[in-house]
Amino acid sequence: MDSERRLQRLYADDSGMSPVVGVALMIAITVALAAVTVAMLLGVADPGIAPTQDTAVSLDSTNAGTALVPEVTGSNDVDVRLNGESIATVDGNATGREIFLPTAPGDEVMLVTENEDATVLVREQFEAGEAGDFVAYYPFTGGGTTVEDHSRNGNDGTFQNSPQWVETGQGSALEFDGSDDYVAVDDLKTAGVGDVEEFTVAVTFEVDSNGDVQQLVEHNSGSEEWHIETTNDDALQFAVNWEDGHKIRTADDIIEPDKTYVAVGTYDGETYRLYLNGTEVANATYTSDVNMGEMQLGKNDPDDIQYFDGRMYEFRLYYTAFDDHQVEMLTRVLE
């Protein structure tokens, strides 16, 4: 099988507010797909070769991740994989249809033919600034007493007391004891912007106990507080301005110990929404900017209460709002 690939990068500013550098990746893939036909002539098999098929896609950086758009599709389906996991298929009906990929810095996208050869057509790794408009990104891999911000915005977190790096069947995680462990991010760097018009926060977590308020993430700046927390009646709550009562939540008795959840809160400047495991559970209106400021993972800010008892597997904070489909795809990656 003969394979030829052309890759071109074009850089442009993708958002007036954000520091992310938009990236347009134009990928043209030409693959010779061989099909054998047998003709019997005087008892001798005469193989024929099918004509060359072209598959061309564009990969364009967006505020939420990466948009893959098939420009030309061939006769063979192509499997789209994010970090080795199948996330979409490019088939003959996919031309012009955008496929959203919730990429993050360090992620790898592969396009692989869905045939016996499973030929890798494209293998592309994304750097910071190419894979979404992040404020902070913590995959919770590493060691020491610092949580590295993989978005390279410098929003590293510092251990307070003794959170523990652990490996579980779910993957690497940061474990909090529910007593005094938390992570402090002193001042979120947002490219000189103190307030943002929209944002999305996502966290994968599991609790070891319930029945108490536990903060997954909280920001408090004067009278402005946004957070995601579990409540004392085992609901999940998302607030964009808690002091003024702008908060939404799931029903009671939802969060149970030793189960993994993906919580996503998103705000587009008019409506804020809460999703649990990819499903929207509540929404309400709010029309003010939101302050980023400092942030704490695993504790109330500023009081020494409401400590988180469990594990966090991944945390993402974006400058941009996500729609329903983007949240669904993000949840698939974070689960």
Please give the distance of CA 93 from its chain centroid, rounded to a whole number: 26
Per-residue model confidence (pLDDT) at position 223: 67
**Torsions phi, psi for 92 (to 5 deg):** -65, -15
On whether the CB atoms of residues 311 and 205 are closer than 8 A, the answer is: yes
Q: In the chain, what are the domains?
A: 3-125 (no CATH), 134-334 (2.60.120.200)
In this structure, the dihedral spanned by the alpha carbons of residues 81, 262, 126 and 156, taken in order and rounded to 10 degrees, is: -160
Tens of pLDDT along the chain (335 residues)?
Answer: 333 222 322 222 333 334 333 333 333 333 322 222 222 222 223 322 222 346 788 889 999 999 999 888 777 889 999 999 999 999 888 889 999 999 999 999 999 988 777 888 888 999 888 888 999 999 999 889 999 999 988 999 999 999 999 999 989 999 999 999 999 998 887 655 668 899 999 999 999 999 999 999 998 876 678 999 999 999 999 999 998 999 999 999 999 999 999 999 999 999 999 999 999 999 999 999 988 878 999 999 889 999 999 999 999 999 899 999 999 999 999 99
Q: Are strands 290-291 and 279-285 parallel, antiparallel or unpaired?
A: unpaired
CA 115 to chain centre: 29
Is the peptide bond prior to 302 cis by the omega test (within 30 degrees of 0)? yes
Residue-wise DSSP of 153-194: SS--EEEES--EEEEETTEEEEEEESSS-EEEE-S---TT-S
CA distance 165 to 227: 23
Residue 78 and residue 71 in contact, taking contact as beta carbons nearer than 8 Å: no
Q: State how far the Cα of 297 lies from the Cα of 165, in Å rounded to an integer.
A: 14
Residues 254 and 180: their CA atoms lie apart, in Å, by 25
Helix or strand holding residue 331 (H, E): helix 324-334
The encoded tokens of residue 186 equal 């002193």
Task: Calculate ∠ Cα 204-130-334, nearest 5°.
Answer: 15
Indicate the pTM of the whole model: 0.84
Closest listed residue to residue 19, CA positions, set 126, 148, 153: 153
3-state secondary structure of 32: coil
Q: Which residues pair with 4 in a beta bridge?
A: 30
**Per-residue model confidence (pLDDT) at position 25:** 39
Give the model's pLDDT for residue 222.
67
